[in-house]
Amino acid sequence: MDQQARLDAIHRLKSVAGHVNGIVRMLEDDRYCIDVIKQIQAAQTALARVSEGILDAHLRTCVTTAIQGAETAERERVLTEITEVFRHTARP
C-alpha cells in the first residue's frame, strides 16, 4: 500500500472511531433506538469503504506483483488469500 492510501485509511478509521464513540454516548444518553441503529449503519458503511480502499491498494500492489512474478507458490498464496477474504465477508 502506498503512503497516501495508508494515510487515507488511517484518517478514515480515526473518523470511524469518533463516530463509534458518538454511538456509545447516544446509548449512554438513552437516545431513540432507530437513531442509534442508523448511526451504527453509517459506521459500518464507513468501515466497508476503508476495507474497499485497502483491498484496492492490495490488488494494485501485492496481488499484481505476485501474478506478474515467476513464483507459482506465491501467486497461489495471494489468490487464496483473496478468496478467503471474500469467503469470510459472505458469511452471515
Select the CATH number that applies to the domain covering 3-90 from these four: 3.40.50.620, 3.40.50.300, 1.20.58.1000, 1.10.1330.10: 1.20.58.1000
Contact 58, 78 (CB under 8 A): no
Q: Are 51 and 88 in contact (CB under 8 A)?
A: no
Per-residue pLDDT at 86: 85
Domain range annotation of the chain = 3-90
Average pLDDT over residues 28-44: 98
**pLDDT at residue number 87:** 86
> How does pLDDT run across 42-62, given as a tens digit for each residue?
999 999 999 999 999 999 999
